[in-house]
A = this chain, B = another copy of it.
Amino acid sequence: MAYISQQSSVTPVPVRIGLIGSGWMGAFHAESVARRVPGAALAAIADPNIESAQNLALQLGTAKVTASAEDIFADPEIDAVVIASPARFHSPLIAQAAAAGKHVFCEKPAGQSLAELDAALAAVEQAGVHFQIGFNRRYADGFRAAKEDLAAGAAGTPQLLRSLTRDPGTGSIPNAARVPAWTIFLETLIHDFDTLNWFNEGAEPTEVYAVADALVEPSLRDQGFLDTAVVTIRYSNGAIAVAEANFSALYGYDVRGEVFGSKGMVQAGRTTETEARRYTAEGLSADTPRLNVELFRQAYTDELADFAASVRAKRDGGTSPSSDITLTPGAADARRALAMALACIESVKSGAPVAVAEKAAV
């Protein structure tokens, strides 16, 4: 063999991540960390459903498995956690992780009341750890490009904004999705709220008026499960925004944003895969994207890559990732969007507009 002696290439220690919650979303994040995020490693998986955790670990070659997140917090070989548990545990887990000195990536919503979220964010603040919330749309090509256009002034001062989410479905709501009553605001529209806040950066949401109903599955109306909602939002700069959601789009996952302002309009997102188009005797047809992990696959990877880079910078003393635009969603973004979702719930209950402020628990 005549290979030339290679200079020692000191590969940096990867960011060692512990996953908390190995459900559908957690499993997808784990796969991203293990296979698609450079400089990161999936070091451990915690889930009370230990079998679920073990299966995922086996599939991804992860060494450590536990039923208790405590083990991960106590593990000195873990740098950071990805929290993908049920939403009701998010705020407590953020607080515990921060107290243990772990950097935190948490799925949305970061909490279910402003009180518990404030406690968690105070722990983050005190520990000085990095905190990121899973508003992945900021990382989607189209939304990021739109944000760049907006930052460059393409639309001028925003006057009218729109963000919509239509989840893929079959025209009825499966049992599994039925449990949490206010899911449409706390888990779905919270994405749209963040998009609108981000697109209208510098302004604060001041008032919401929300209308919601069970139109996909009217039989669930009595149990409080709402599948369709429209929210009008006033901002401190006068801009008026509309957020809209529905849980059963037969044509697949549909996420779009639009900002109209004094100079023009910027649009993000699309419902068509324009990549391949068919023209037949029936006219034009084309496929539409079906799942969020199809449409936003790259965004899911990029948000974790940004997280890993931020953690590495904190851990190793380097520079944080930077961008021409505001990108990484953090504590203030998590809180602002939650406050809007909570105000929406109150608005639906009262049938009147509600100021966005220090809301109490649900």
Q: Which residues of A contact B (CB under 8 A)?
A: 1-4, 6-7, 9, 11, 35-36, 38, 44, 50, 54, 57-58, 61-68, 71, 74-75, 141-143, 145-146, 148-149, 154-157, 159-160, 162, 166, 171, 209, 211, 213, 215-216, 218, 228-230, 232, 234, 238-240, 242, 244, 246, 248-252, 254, 260, 262-288, 351-353
Contact present for B268 and A280 (CB under 8 Å)? no
Q: How far is the CA of A271 from the CA of B230 in the complex (A)?
A: 24
Residue among A62, A155, A171, A279 with the highest chain B CB neighbour number at 10 A = A279
Asked if A288 and B278 sit within 8 Å, CB to CB, the answer is no
Contact (A273, B145) CB under 8 Å given A4-B65, A9-B57, A283-B285: yes
A68 touches B9 (CB 8 A): no
- Measured CB to CB, the closest approach of chain B to A19, in angstroms, equals 13
Could you tell me the distance between the alpha carbons of A7 and B58 in the complex, rounded to whole angstroms? 7
Considering the chains assembled together, what is the distance between the CA atoms of A268 and B1 in angstroms?
47
The answer to whether A160 and B244 have CB atoms under 8 Å apart is: yes
Q: Which of A1, A44, A252 has the most CB of B within 10 A?
A: A1
Quick check: A171 and B262 within 8 Å, CB to CB? yes
| Given A251-B265, A275-B268: A244 in contact with B242 (beta carbons within 8 A) | yes
A–B complex contacts, Cβ < 8 Å, 28 sampled: A4-B65, A6-B58, A6-B62, A9-B61, A145-B276, A146-B276, A149-B276, A159-B216, A159-B228, A159-B246, A160-B228, A160-B230, A218-B238, A228-B240, A250-B262, A250-B263, A251-B279, A251-B280, A263-B280, A263-B281, A264-B279, A265-B271, A266-B276, A266-B277, A269-B275, A271-B284, A274-B274, A285-B286
Copies in the complex: 4
Q: Which residues of B have CB within 8 Å of A154?
A: 278, 280
Contact in complex: B4, A50 (CB < 8 Å) = yes
Question: Is B240 within 8 A of A213, CB to CB?
Answer: yes
**A265/B242 in contact, CB under 8 A:** no
Kindly report which residue of chain B lies nearest to residue A257, judged by CB atoms: B276
Q: What is the minimal beta-carbon distance from A267 to any residue of chain B, in angstroms?
A: 5
Residues from chain B with a CB closer than 8 A to the CB of A142 are 275-276
Give complex CA distance A284, B287 in Å: 6
Are B277's CB and A288's CB within 8 A? no
Query: CB distance A232 to B211 under 8 Å?
Result: yes
B contact residues around A239 at 8 Å (CB)? 215
Q: Give A243 Cβ to nearest chain B Cβ, in Å.
A: 10
Given known contacts A54-B6, A71-B3, A284-B286, A264 and B251 CB-to-CB distance under 8 angstroms: yes
